[in-house]
Amino acid sequence: MNDATAKQIVALLLSSLQQEARKNLPDYVRDSWLSALSEIVEKSLYHLWVNIISNIDKIKIDADVVEIIDERERPADDPT
C-alpha cells in the first residue's frame, strides 16, 4: 500500500478515535485526554501507524471496526 493511502487511513482512525472520545468521555477529562492524544500522535505515533499500514497488504475497514491482518509468514524462530 502506498504512503498516501496509509496517511488517509491513519487520519480516519484518529478522527474516529477523537469523535468517540468526545462522545464518551466526561467533560472534566475530555480536553486533557484529547490534548495528550494529540501530543503523542505528533511526536511519533502518526508516523509509526503510517509505516505499519504502508507495509501491510490487506486492510479491512468496517463501520465501527478496523482490522489489520498480517498474513506474512513468520520466521520459524518467532514465538508469536
* DSSP category for residue 45: I
pLDDT of residue 62: 62
In a domain, 77, yes or no: no
pLDDT of residue 4: 87
Determine whether 62 is exposed, middle or buried from the number of CB atoms within 10 Å of its CB (0-12, 13-18, 19+): exposed
Total domain count for the chain?
1
DSSP letter for each residue of 9-41: HHHHHHHHHHHHHHHHS-HHHHHHHHHHHHHHI
Q: What is the model's pTM?
A: 0.60
Range of the domain at 44: 3-69
In a domain, 31, yes or no: yes
Q: pLDDT tens-digit profile of 29-40?
A: 888 888 888 888
Q: pLDDT tens-digit profile of 45-69?
A: 888 888 888 887 766 666 566 555 6
In a domain, 28, yes or no: yes
Q: Measured in whole angstroms, how far is the alpha carbon of residue 15 from the centre of its chain? A: 10
Quote the CA–CA distance of 22 and 79 in Å, as a whole number: 39
